[in-house]
Structure 1
Amino acid sequence: MHFNAKVHFDFVKHRKKFYAFSIALTLIGILSLFIFNLNYGVDFKAGTNMDLAIGKPITQAEAIDVLKQAGYEDMTPTIGGAGNERVTARFDEVLNQDEIRKIQDAFKAKFGDQVDAEVNIVSPDMAREMGAKTIYAVIIASAAIMLYVTIRFEWRFALAANIAILYDAFVVVAIFSIFQLQVDLPFIAAVLTTIGYSINDKIVIFDRIRENLRFSKIKNKEQLADMVNNSIWQTMARNIYTVLAVLVVAISLFIFGSESIKLFALAKIIGLTSGAYSSICIASPLWYQFKGDPKPKAAKTQASA
């Protein structure tokens, strides 16, 4: 049986190694969440975010010094914007108007009256509501994708795809937990778009598997494994080019973008990489296992004339 693809590596044969690596990473992520939890930003916990436009270049050391003068000793603001003219400071407490004015006046005293501040305050109730809506968004997105794949293909494809995309989403969460990177609304957007890009890769491979399955006569597990491997390699170039095109953009944003979008870009890089890996090494081998032993149709016997 030939599928016109050169198989360089047998993904199905080595599937248990991929499963072991993925399970190990998942367990490490779960352990990290239990021990360290996530480093929630202001969007998911009560607090205040101040974004100050200074109007002239400023260093982090200067910003820290001004915040100390305003009475905030342990603040580590981030510097960004064109020419490093913006200061972002995140406070774990909800600041009142007098406290906000005191910080703004401290920067004006140092850099002039052109200093302007944009303030976002998240109350405890808003933080809890935001967290709940985020969980609902991930659940609804996953359920909708599983329903779509079930309608377009069949339940084995849907189950394999959903396990893989949930793994992709969790990998992003796990990495952010392990390294205690800040989780905010752009991070959630990155997770949801990761799910979208991830299912696209899997649909491409599944479509080729279904096509090859339709036009081949699979008689045993070995032939089924050969068909899955060939389907992966037939779509390998397309998947790599698609992922690389988006990765180039995400990496460029991470390197050259402002501080406010660096973590969003990093989450995208992690999610895209995981999505490409899971499409090839998890989703397709899982479908192979769910498919079980092929059951070829009984050959029709022709009645003798």
Structure 2
Amino acid sequence: MLKIVEKTKLWFAISLFIIVIGMGTMAVKGLNLGIDFKGGTALTIGMNQKFDKSDVDKIVDKYAKGEYLSKTVDNGKDIEIIVKSDALSADEIATMVQEIKTQFKSSDLVSQDTTGASVGNELKSKAIVALIFATICMLVYIGIRFEFKFGIAAIIALLHDVLITLGVYAVFRIPVNAPFIAAILTIIGYSINDTIVIFDRIRENQRIMRKSSIEEIANTSITQTLARSINTVLTVLISIIAVYALVPSIRELSEPLIIGIAVGCYSSIFIASPVWVVLKKRKKRVTA
């Protein structure tokens, strides 16, 4: 039997250290919000030839110097240019694209998406509401199916997953766009499922191991479900990593999923159950 609960302070310290770094970075620099939230225009230009990114940047600098980001995508075959909101008018963007097409004869405009700043603000507020609503529903469900302390422990673990994922994005300045919200909701759903498996085993063992301590019950339950949790997560991660590597167009979705699902597995084992034990022991001390 693994001694997970006995090292609760260690698990909490590791998580707290990572969260503090991430939240500190977010407080100082903020998240690197993409055009879905800040507004702007995203252009994808198929180059269809060998090209130097700096040559394209020189053209864009004429129109929106310091107001854009550019990167090569699709293994260097295309270039994606993201111009900040209100930096260029529609006519100026069309002129800029035409100049790129003139210099690079075989290039063509693959896609052009414009998002207003007001739309981005509305998306942010709706995303926050969706996260709060999902969290409340999960708390109610777990509280009814198990007990309220299980619900509190599960929500703390979910908050842990979200904060660490946000922290990683803040530290590494990864752009945050609409697919990130879908990924966070998916991470929450996956993590809660993994946590419930352990909680269900704890509930069963409470009936079987009546003379055992809370720590023994939690450790036994975690040990019994550990192989299942790790194998499931590895299977999912292998699939998502394959998608990330082979399907560049949906990396904005697969990238946070890789981070969040790995963190969710950790929190289900090392955070959720130890938190439940802490809450249980605290109640015993209060009623003693």
Could you tell me the TM-score, scaled by structure 2's length? Answer: 0.90
Kept in 2, the 8 Å contact 1:59–1:79? The answer is no
Which consecutive unaligned segments of at least 5 residues does structure 2 have?
none
For residue 51 of structure 1, give the secondary structure of its aligned residue in structure 2: strand
- In the alignment, which residue of structure 1 is the partner of 2:84? 92
Residues 169-209 of structure 1, C-alpha deviations (whole Å, 9 max, x = no match): 11111111122211111111211111111101101101111
Kept in 2, the 8 Å contact 1:64–1:77? The answer is yes
1:173 to 163, 166, 169: 166
1:254 to 244, 263, 277: 244
AA matched with 2:258: I
Please show how residues 68-147 of structure 1 align to structure 2 within 5 Å: 68=61, 70-74=62-66, 75-81=68-74, 84-94=76-86, 95-112=88-105, 115-147=108-140
Residues 75-124 of structure 1, C-alpha deviations (whole Å, 9 max, x = no match): 4422223x643221111133322112112201220233761242222222
Higher mean displacement: 185-194 or 56-65: 56-65
CA-CA distance at 1:292 after TM superposition: 2.2
Kept in 2, the 8 Å contact 1:41–1:184? The answer is yes
For residue 233 of structure 2, give the secondary structure of its aligned residue in structure 1: helix
- In the alignment, which residue of structure 2 is the partner of 1:268? 257
Distance of 1:113 and 1:271 partners within structure 2 = 40
AA matched with 2:246: F
Kept in 2, the 8 Å contact 1:218–1:224? The answer is no
Distance 1:35 1:293, change over 3 A: closer
Kept in 1, the 8 Å contact 2:60–2:96? The answer is yes
Paired residue total? 282
Which consecutive unaligned segments of at least 5 residues does structure 1 have?
1-6, 296-305
Kept in 2, the 8 Å contact 1:59–1:84? The answer is no
Could you tell me the TM-score, scaled by structure 1's length? Answer: 0.85
- In the alignment, which residue of structure 2 is the partner of 1:301? none
For residue 279 of structure 2, give the secondary structure of its aligned residue in structure 1: helix
Distance of 2:64 and 2:139 partners within structure 1 = 49
Distance of 2:281 and 2:63 partners within structure 1 = 66
Kept in 2, the 8 Å contact 1:55–1:85? The answer is yes
Kept in 1, the 8 Å contact 2:49–2:106? The answer is no
Distance of 2:25 and 2:49 partners within structure 1 = 41
Structure holding more helix per residue? 2
Cα RMSD, aligned residues only: 2.2
